[in-house]
Amino acid sequence: MALTTGTYLGSITSDTASLAATITDETLDVDVPTCPGWTLRDLAHHLGEVQRWARLAAVTGAPPQDDAIDPPPAPGPDEARALQEWLTSGARALVDAMRDLDPAAPTWHPFPVPRVAGVWPRRQAHEVAVHRWDAQRAVGEPGDAFPLAADFVAEYFEVIVPRVIDRDGRTPPVGRLRVRLTDAGTEWTVDTTERDIRFTAWAAADVDLPELTGSADDVVLALWRRQPLPGGPTSPLAAQWLEFGGN
């Protein structure tokens, strides 16, 4: 069942707040192992800029201009506090802008899927979720679960994989794969035997397909190459998908 815009916006608000809470004077320069080359400051700048960029795209229905985005706070004695406020104010503006959007209304976005407004709340909810996890792990916290994990997995195949194929010219693994989330009671079939990727509800006729199996959280983190799938992939095709990675 499709999630509501309100569910996505609530997730954006709570996950942005959790990420902001990891930012202190002592953690700004901490490395983020799951985002090689980035410090926590870099991660916060990235997320805040992405949220502002997405808000402008959703509001204007056009590619945003970089100079229309207010920059993050400059280094200084109050940088951590100012960065927290910059993050939370950007998330608040994003949520306010998206609250009354008709999910079926036409818009602009850079993904090779139908250009309707409903893409934005979903994409932004999952964007901040994975970076919230990155930030928590960087400062030594275990990383909270993903309440929307099953939808996150679906969006990976529905939106992110087509984006990577279109933008980078990469070829996805070829074959038919059963994706099974053991704790969500959710299963899909991913079919790349034709030119386009097809992501559909699993059917009993597909029982003999190679599988990518795990809890919803574990599959999210493995697909986005944050951590290995516990127990490892159970088929060569699943292993190829885990190497394909995110965006």
Looking at the fold, whether 126 and 170 belong to one and the same domain comes out as no
pLDDT, position 206: 64
CA distance 209 to 145: 29
pLDDT at 205: 62
174, 133: one domain? no
Shared domain for 159 and 132, answered yes or no, is no
**230 and 162 fall within a common domain:** yes
Q: What is the pLDDT of residue 204?
A: 63
Q: Which residues of the chain have pLDDT under 50?
A: none
pLDDT, residue 196, reads: 82
| Total domains in the fold of the chain | 2
Domain boundary among 138, 172, 199: 138
Pairing of strands 186-191, 198-201: antiparallel
For residues 165 and 106, state if they share a domain.
no
Q: Encode pLDDT of 214-242 as tens digits.
A: 999 999 999 999 999 999 999 999 999 99
pTM of the model: 0.95
Residue 144 lies in a domain: no
231 and 191 within one domain: yes
